[in-house]
A = this chain, B = another copy of it.
Amino acid sequence: MQVLITGGAGFLGQRLARRLLERGTLRDADGEARPIERLVLLDVVEAEGFDDPRVVPLAGDFCDPDCLATALHDGTGAIFHLAAVVSGQAEAEFDLGMRVNLDGSWQLLERCRKLGHRPRVIFTSSVAVYGGDLPDVVRDHTALTPRSSYGTQKAIAELLLVEFHRRGFVDGRVLRLPTVSVRPGRPNAAASSFASGVIREPLNGLESVCPVDPATRLWLLSPRRAIDCLLHGHEVEDVALGDRRTINLPGVTVTAREMVSTLEAIAGREIAARVRWEPDPAIETIVGSWPGAWETGRAETLGFAGDADFAAIVRAYIEDDLPAAGRG
């Protein structure tokens, strides 16, 4: 079994890679566990810190046909397609977002089609495919009405993946992720970057700005559970999904205000006071268009699990990432 992760040097990509290496196997199309012989980590920068002969870091642009041909060939049994231009950047740089998030995903699927061996493709989509006048809880049958370039590009890539699956070119699975929080590391250009920052920065002794109204609802999943879901998205049986290839993953609903009060309950008033409320209309518009919750019954029936509550998410960050940050 050879595996490709696009966005393999990114935060989720690296963490997924480590879990795959620990685990050592993935199921093939017949449901049999096969050893992972080769794990290609494709990204615009070279993935670092892997001392494992199975890992092949590959620096390149997956939108470039030559690069894609190197990364993805007829021995590639599983593809985790995580690479994307994030929401804030896709809004600011329209052409870049369209090229990477839409055309790039299309070319990746075309490559699979040309190869003809029907690899398994796990594609990460997002809350951002929803938008506008939404019900309180989004259902599986709620229309995709994105209100951002990123959300539009993800919605289109979803449709492409489902179509390429229907035509028999790939075994496709779309996992719609809640906003992943708490991400370690530095803020990024995602409109939702604050959803990690308001917890991470204070715990690391830094000030943090929350750019949305305290009442804004967020729909969150910890990195730990996100990786579990990605793996399960590969392992879940083809027939269990039937022709419904898109799964809304479990999350927890929390307001921005509750995020900070949870931080206070866990880490104390002084740390929580490091959050400053400073609305940013551009971010509020994007994040405010996302759903605060969606139905998760189908995901749970299929064996996907989220976090118990937001306190569990904060504790997962403290356990998994805070020691590595060397502070707290």
Which residues of A are at the interface with B, using a C-beta cutoff of 8 A?
A: 94, 132-133, 135, 140-147, 149, 152, 155-156, 159-160, 162-163, 166-167, 243-244
Contact = CB atoms under 8 A, between A and B. Distances in A.
Contact of A141 (B143, B147, B159): B143
A155 B155 CA distance: 10
Given A143-B141, A144-B143, A149 B163 contact: yes
B159 A163 contact: no
A132 B243 contact: yes
B166 A147 contact: yes
A207 B147 CA distance: 50
Given A152-B160, A156-B160, A141 B144 contact: no
A88 to B, nearest CB: 15
Interface of A is mostly: loop
Given A142-B143, A143-B141, A143-B142, A159 B167 contact: no
A262 B273 CA distance: 74
Given A142-B141, A156-B156, A243 B147 contact: yes
> Which of A141, A147, A155, A160 is packed against the most chain B CB atoms within 10 Å?
A141
B94 A244 contact: no
A144 B142 contact: no
Contacts of A149: 163, 167
